[in-house]
Structure formats: C-alpha cells, structure tokens
Amino acid sequence: MEKIDIPKRTVYRLSLYQRCLQKFLEQSVDTVSSDDLASAAGVKSTQLRKDLGYVGQFGTRGLGYSVETLSAAISGVMGLSMLQPVVLIGVGNLGAALIRYGGFRKEGFEIIAAFDAEPSNVKGPTEEMGVPVHHVSSLGDYVAEHAVRVGIVAVPESAGQEVTNILVESGIQAILNFSPAVLNVPEAVVVNHVDLAAELGSLGFFVN
Amino acid sequence: MEKIDIPKRTVYRLSLYQRCLQKFLEQSVDTVSSDDLASAAGVKSTQLRKDLGYVGQFGTRGLGYSVETLSAAISGVMGLSMLQPVVLIGVGNLGAALIRYGGFRKEGFEIIAAFDAEPSNVKGPTEEMGVPVHHVSSLGDYVAEHAVRVGIVAVPESAGQEVTNILVESGIQAILNFSPAVLNVPEAVVVNHVDLAAELGSLGFFVN
DNA sequence: GAACAATTGAGAGAAATTTCGCAATTCATC
DNA sequence: GATGAATTGCGAAATTTCTCTCAATTGTTC
Ligand SMILES: NC(=O)c1ccc[n+]([C@@H]2O[C@H](COP(=O)([O-])OP(=O)(O)OC[C@H]3O[C@@H](n4cnc5c(N)ncnc54)[C@H](O)[C@@H]3O)[C@@H](O)[C@H]2O)c1
Ligand SMILES: NC(=O)c1ccc[n+]([C@@H]2O[C@H](COP(=O)([O-])OP(=O)(O)OC[C@H]3O[C@@H](n4cnc5c(N)ncnc54)[C@H](O)[C@@H]3O)[C@@H](O)[C@H]2O)c1
C-alpha cells in the first residue's frame, strides 16, 4: 500500500492534468501529446513528462498519450476511481459557497454532510443541494461511522484547531483548510492550507 | 521603483508574517523573536529570518524584532501602506462569499466594485456590504477610470480569459484567479491562481 | 565591566524542483 | 523495408528553495 513517493507539487499538477484530460475526453479527443496537455494545464511539456514519469509509462513515442488510458492511470494514483465522501465544517459565507458549487463531483469528491456550531442559522445549502447540515457536536461520530477520510475546514480561525482535533481523532486523513489558522496535526494527516487572505495580500507586492 | 527580487514563496510568507504581526500588535506584544513569529506563521525560524533578509535588517540580536517596526517594514515592501482598491468579477457562489467576507480590509484590500454578466440576478452583496454590482460591460472603463490595480476573477472557466483581457487592457497589474482557466497575460501582469478543485483533488492522493 | 544567555544575519551546504538534451521508439510514406 | 518526422522517457545539469551553522551583537546579571 506504500504510495510511490511523489513531490507535492507534482501531485497537485496531476490533479490539473486529470481535469484537462477529462475535458479532452468530453471533446472526444483520444490522443494528446505532452505539448497539448501541458499547454492546456499551463505548464511546460518537459514538466508534464517528468511528472508523469513518477506515475509510470503511458505514452507511445511519436504519438503521444491515449487520453483514456492516461486519465485512468492518474485516477488510479490519485485515488479518484470512486467518489470520495467529504465533510465540511463551517457553513458560513465560504462554506455555503463550496456546498453550492456542483463541480467537485466531477473531480471525484462529494460533500456528503456539513457541520456548524449554529445549524439553525443555516438555511440555503441544505435544501438546495441536499447536503444536510448537522450540529458540530455530532461531527466526530459521523466521521468515524462513515469512515470519512477528507474534511474541509471553513470555520473562523479561532475554531480551526478545535474542529481539526475532532476530525483527527475520528480518523480523518486529509484536510483542506480555508481558515487562517495553522493547524497542528499528526504526521499521517495531510493538510492543504488555502489562505485566501494571504493570496490576495501577496499581490500587493507586485502592483505599482 | 524596481522592486527587489524576492522569491514568490517569500512574498507569500511575508503576507503571513504581516497578519501574525497584526495579531501580536492587537495583543500589545511589542517584541517578538524569530521563533515566536515563525511558529505563529507555521514556518521554521530559519526560514523566517531568511525571508526577512530579502527585505532588510530589522531585528536586534539578543532581543528580536519590534512588532511595530517590522510590521511597518513589511507593509512598505508589500505596498500595504494604504488600502488597495480591488474589483471582483463574477458574483456567483464564490464571488458573493468573497464580497461578504469582511476580513480583506484588515489585510489592506477593499473590494470597491463587483461586475457580473447578469447583475440583476445578484441581490445580497450589494445591500449587505455596500459593494455595487455593475454590468460587466462597464468593467473596462471602471478599472481605467479608478486606476484599479488588482482584480479578482470568479467567473466560470469559459469567461475567464475574456474578462482577463478586459482587465489587462484597462491597466490591471495583478489578478487573483479562482476559475480553473489558465489565464494568458502579459509578463508585467501577475496572476495568482487559486484552484480549489485542484487543491481538493490533490488530497485524493494522500488518503488511504 | 566581565561573563553569560539570547538571538539575529548571512554564507555555506543540502535538498527539492525544474529544465535541458538526446537516445529510443513509433508511425507514416515512399 | 529504409527514411523521416514526431514524440516519449529519462539521466544530467541548472536553478530555486530550504536548512544548518556559527560568528556577531545586544541586554542582563553579578
Ligand atoms: N469568505 C471569504 O471570502 C474568506 C476569505 C478569506 C478567508 N476566509 C476564512 O474562511 C473561514 C470561513 O470564512 P467565512 O467568511 O465563511 O466565515 P463565516 O463567519 O461566514 O462562517 C463561519 C461559520 O463557522 C461556524 N462556526 C463557528 N465556530 C464553529 C465551530 N466551533 N464548529 C463549527 N462551526 C463553527 C459559524 O457558525 C459560521 O457559520 C474563516 O476562517 C475565514 O477567515 C474566508
Ligand atoms: N464556488 C466554489 O466553491 C468553487 C469551487 C471551485 C472552483 N470554483 C470556480 O470559481 C468560479 C466561480 O464559481 P461560482 O461557484 O461562484 O460560479 P457561479 O456560476 O455561481 O458564478 C459565476 C458568476 O459569473 C457570472 N458570469 C458569467 N460570465 C460572466 C462574464 N463574462 N462576465 C462577468 N460575469 C460573468 C455569472 O453571472 C455568475 O454570477 C468558477 O470558475 C468555478 O469553477 C468555484
């Protein structure tokens, strides 16, 4: 079960490639060159080939890659062969937007339940998308019972570590963190920190 | 006015440091060591010192950094000395969430206007936050007239390049792109691509 | 004011990541 | 079935980023 050792950056790009391949598939393209795919993903073709090299050999020289084969291969590595259930904690501005967004399914993820400290304040998403919003007190049990492996944290900074602890104790394996909080987790748990304020803030450097 | 050459990663972290410093300031802490600040930001202290090294020398050996001085210095480099006006294009799920979020002001950014292809569909944010939502046809003029330098793109992928072109032609200097589209821009324009689907997707690799 | 503890700043070294270069392979054509 | 054009896969080189080390400096204590 030992995952091959793949650089984090490469894993991220594999996710991009996968989406591009999906799009090619929809357009009934059945073969792409590394140049085609790379430019669709916004990277250099050498980079793409090096990235794919971590996964295996899927191309045929002179021709390129079979979209279907490559897509299946990446899906395999990325564990996207089946829909991955996800819980979301914090149904505020951002959390609600994420729930309403329908696009994650296509990427292989489904938000199956949401949790909030005040679920009664939350109206829209439940009805709109069929995602139930529970009280955060039931988070631990839910995650454990449904063996949920991925969680999205969209609570205020002050509550970030708290809900993370619950997730971790209940066996979560990966967290997408939107709060500014620096989350403390065991080695085995992976955290992707998306810090929107910092992303915007860093643009300040480049203007004027 | 040539900016010092600072690695992108460092710029991003400077933004983190700045937020942490702000928090220290609120707590009336007036001196921090590189260890304190680094752990608040979730990085190693050697990394922090190296990052600050790009900016200048602000610490006193044996003591640490003056929160106020350092914060001012970073603000200077990051161009956050004054509130940076920002336009947002695409007031859908995500765009509306960003508008409703009040935290960007504290980071030195203010969404002064939003644009959508169908502004009549958009209700909430305008009234709630006092951010007017205009038709996208007026985007170019608005950006040019108000000399807006930073834009947030939150439209569907298919419209990403289109609105980007308008922004670029009108003199935008930096873009925060939430759409999956790979945006094509001139060298002088900086794009921060926040690809939520890819961030979530890449977690798939790490589970199980 | 000498000894000590704390802590920065910066150069050197290590590690990670990206880019390059090119042999190997495949398909199409003559 | 040989020639040529296209394109992968991979080792090597280049670049970027991170970490380590330690001398230099400051404040504090005796
Ligand atoms: N919305 C944005 O555009 C934006 C931008 C930058 C950063 N962020 C960050 O994303 C996070 C969410 O932002 P938001 O605007 O959606 O905030 P929000 O205040 O609108 O929503 C937070 C939600 O979390 C819930 N909550 C609070 N404590 C909780 C707990 N212990 N357990 C479960 N739920 C709890 C609240 O009831 C609320 O519904 C914040 O950390 C914020 O700093 C958001
Ligand atoms: N919401 C999420 O959680 C989420 C997650 C991942 C990615 N994204 C990406 O973020 C972007 C926005 O997502 P969303 O969920 O808010 O989408 P959305 O469909 O809710 O909103 C898009 C908005 O853009 C407007 N629009 C369309 N074409 C336009 C144009 N040419 N000019 C101006 N406005 C235009 C639409 O009227 C709509 O209001 C999309 O690219 C999406 O793929 C969103």
Integer Cα distance of B73 and B58 in angstroms: 8
Identify whether residues B60 and B150 lie together within a single domain: no
* Residue B134 near residue B108 (C-beta atoms within 8 A): no
Identify whether residues B33 and B90 lie together within a single domain: no
| Among B78, B104, B119, residue at a domain's last position | B78
We report the CATH number of the domain holding residue A134 as 3.40.50.720
- Residue A208: inside a domain, yes or no? no
Integer Cα distance of B138 and B136 in angstroms: 5
Identify whether residues A68 and A88 lie together within a single domain: no
- Residue B124: inside a domain, yes or no? yes
Nucleotides, chain C, CB distance < 7 Å: 5-11, 16-21, 24-27
- Residue B180: inside a domain, yes or no? yes
Identify whether residues A70 and A100 lie together within a single domain: no
Identify whether residues B118 and B166 lie together within a single domain: yes
Stretch 118-147 of chain A: residues touching chain B, C-beta under 8 Å: none
Integer Cα distance of B91 and B125 in angstroms: 9
pLDDT at A78 > cutoff 50:
yes
| Among A57, A78, A99, residue at a domain's last position | A78
Identify whether residues B69 and B119 lie together within a single domain: no
Identify whether residues B68 and B94 lie together within a single domain: no
Of B103, B104, B83, B101, the residue nearest B149 (C-alpha) = B83
Residue in this structure with the two tokens 């961030």, named with its chain if needed: B199
- Residue A3: inside a domain, yes or no? no
Average model confidence (pLDDT) across chain A = 94
Ligand 1 proximity of A120 Cβ (cutoff 6 Å) = no
pLDDT of residue A66: 96
Structural domain containing residue A178: 84-199
CA B134 to chain CA centroid, Å, is 22
Shortest Cα distance, chain B CAs vs residue A72, angstroms: 14
Q: Tell me which amino acid residue B37 is.
A: L
- Residue B108: inside a domain, yes or no? yes
Summarised one tens digit per residue, pLDDT across range A122-172 is 766 566 678 999 999 999 999 999 999 999 999 999 999 999 999 999 999
Identify whether residues A73 and A94 lie together within a single domain: no
Q: Which of A149, A174, A182 sits opposite B42 (nearest CB)?
A: A182
Confidence of residue A54 (pLDDT cuts 50, 70, 90): very high
- Residue A55: inside a domain, yes or no? yes
By three-state DSSP, how is residue A106 classified?
helix
pLDDT of residue B5: 86
- Whether B35 and chain A come into contact, CB under 8 Å, resolves to no
Identify whether residues B123 and B159 lie together within a single domain: yes
**pLDDT, greater one: B1 or A50:** A50
Q: Would the CB atoms of A205 and B107 count as touching at under 8 Å?
A: no
- Residue B17: inside a domain, yes or no? yes
Shortest Cα distance, chain B CAs vs residue A137, angstroms: 24
pLDDT at A24 > cutoff 60:
yes
DSSP state letters, A53-82: HHH---EETTTEEEHHHHHHHHHHHHT-SS
CA of B147 to the centre of ligand 1 (A): 32
pLDDT of residue A127: 64
Identify whether residues A130 and A170 lie together within a single domain: yes
**pLDDT, average across residues A16-40:** 96
pLDDT of residue B160: 98
Question: With the C-alpha atoms ordered B131, B133, B136, B140, is the resulting torsion angle positive or negative?
Answer: negative
Identify whether residues B112 and B154 lie together within a single domain: yes
By three-state DSSP, how is residue A124 classified?
helix
- The count of domains in chain B is 2
Ligand 1 proximity of A195 Cβ (cutoff 6 Å) = no
- Residue A43: inside a domain, yes or no? yes
We report the CATH number of the domain holding residue A38 as 1.10.10.10
| Among A78, A95, A118, residue at a domain's last position | A78
- Please identify every stretch of chain B with a pLDDT value under 70, giving residue numbers as ranges: 1-4, 123-128
Identify whether residues A94 and A183 lie together within a single domain: yes
pLDDT of residue A1: 45
Q: Would the CB atoms of B18 and A201 count as touching at under 8 Å?
A: yes
